[in-house]
């Protein structure tokens, strides 16, 4: 099927634990990398809510972390909807 194996894209099973620093080209992420990052941020948000409810972290620190995660989520999501 392929003459050379170098044409095959290597699968990196980091999903759903992908953040922008894990992207192969930070200036030009793939749709897969963006979606994996969005899923990672959703999981981080849910984990942070659970930590706040379980008193693992202070409410103030937890809410600050939630704001940061939400801001990052919106920033990454905006990559998908850039003006043309």
Torsion sign across C-alpha atoms 18, 56, 45, 43: positive
Q: Count of CB atoms within 10 A of residue 63's CB? A: 13
7-62 per-position pLDDT tens digit: 555 555 556 688 899 899 988 898 888 988 999 999 999 999 999 999 999 999 99
Distance CA 79, CA 49 (A): 26
pLDDT per residue over 33-46, tens digit each? 898 899 999 999 99
With beta carbons less than 8 A apart as the criterion, state whether 36 and 14 touch.
yes
CA 30 to chain centre: 12
Radius of gyration of the chain from its Cα atoms, rounded to whole angstroms: 17
pTM over 0.85: no
Report residue 40 as tokens: 């990672």
The full set of domain ranges for the chain reads 29-84
């Amino acid at each position: 099927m392929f003459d050379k194996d170098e044409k095959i894209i290597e699968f990196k099973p980091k999903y759903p634990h992908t953040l922008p620093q894990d992207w192969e080209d930070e200036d030009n992420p793939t749709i897969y990398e963006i979606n994996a990052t969005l899923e990672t941020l959703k999981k981080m948000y849910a984990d942070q809510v659970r930590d706040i409810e379980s008193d693992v972290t202070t409410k103030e620190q937890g809410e600050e972390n939630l704001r940061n995660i939400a801001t990052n989520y919106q920033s990454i999501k905006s990559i998908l909807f850039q003006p043309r």
